[in-house]
A = this chain, B = another copy of it.
Amino acid sequence: MVTLAEVARHAGVSASTVSYVLSGKRSISAPTRERVEHSIKELGYHPNAGARALASSRSNIIALMVPLRTDMYVPVMMEIAIAVATTARSHGYDVLLLTGEEGPAAVRRVTGSGLADAMIVMDVELEDERLPLLHAARQPTVLIGLPADTVGLTCVDLDFTATGALCVEHLAALGHREVAIVGEAPAVYERHTGFAERTLEGLRRRAGELGVRLLHRPCQGSYESMDGTLSRIFDERPGTTGFVVQNEAAIDPLLSLLRRQGRAVPEDVSVVAVCPEQVATQASVRLTSVAVPAQEMGQRAVELVVAKLEGNASGEQVALLAPELTVRASSGPAPGTA
């Protein structure tokens, strides 16, 4: 294990000089810097993370709390996590992966031990039990998702209320008057996960304004549950011509079942999905959809957290990404429309 002291000796300078070359916190003359850098390379020196953390009380690690629930659509989580890790690296930070399992205890452990300099918390519930602890922690925190009360917090999320509204608007403009919402699994609503409830709220409000009748049914996403859900929808509202799907796992089953029932998309029914682009373009029908910008969310979260760490903190703020609806092949004029 090569140490800074050895590098210093090899380069014929003091330890502090090497340190300053490394950190750039003081100016070092070009020849000295080069000599030091050369020694570093030659000896294969890597600063010891522990010593660094101890001396500087900065670990250069960002903790990322991901849920370990399985009722959330996982690819989105993974995409966010990867984006977080990648973006963090580009800012010189590493990412510590914390699962939801430990719950609030994890927050305490990490903030207490100085393991991480900051936290990014995913899958936030409206009344999340981790929030009080995060408030108390001296570490900067960014939430991916929106709790009920955002006072003093920094959050990043897709504007799900606007997303819901956008979906209804699109369908309404095409003449659809009876729209069914294929929602997330019931457990997601029971937990009061913000994005699910907000989407619903957006859908309902705009639907009210536009005179669209809405029917919301949670759905597990399996083929079987989708089958049941679909039957009940058409039983209750035989005139349904529009679908909004929020649960990505339900997309394939829905399309498949509609086809099997002889309902053509988009001639007989239109489908609008809220899902990552990839899902929308790879389904059996290219889906009109509002993209969930997983990558961007992860990236923004890191940028906000890094800004806080570097002191360019813009304090409390909520970054709500504007939804964008892309029209593809799954939506068209309601049957019987001029």
Contact = CB atoms under 8 A, between A and B. Distances in A.
A52 interface: yes
A253 to B, nearest CB: 7
Contacts of A95: 96-97
A98 interface: yes
A231 interface: no
Copies per assembly? 2
Given A97-B95, A222-B281, A283-B223, A49 B114 contact: yes
A16 interface: no
Interface string A44-77: 1011111111100101010010101010001101
A86 interface: yes
A86 B223 CA distance: 30
A296 interface: no
A282 interface: yes
Given A59-B50, A78-B77, A282-B249, A101 B113 contact: no
Contacts of A249: 282
Nearest to A222: B282
A98 B96 CA distance: 9
Contact of A114 (B48, B59, B113): B48
Nearest to A75: B74
Given A78-B74, A94-B96, A86 B113 contact: no
A326 interface: no
A113 B282 contact: no
16 contacts: A48-B54, A49-B59, A50-B54, A51-B54, A53-B54, A54-B54, A66-B82, A68-B85, A74-B79, A89-B101, A94-B96, A94-B115, A95-B97, A97-B97, A256-B256, A256-B259
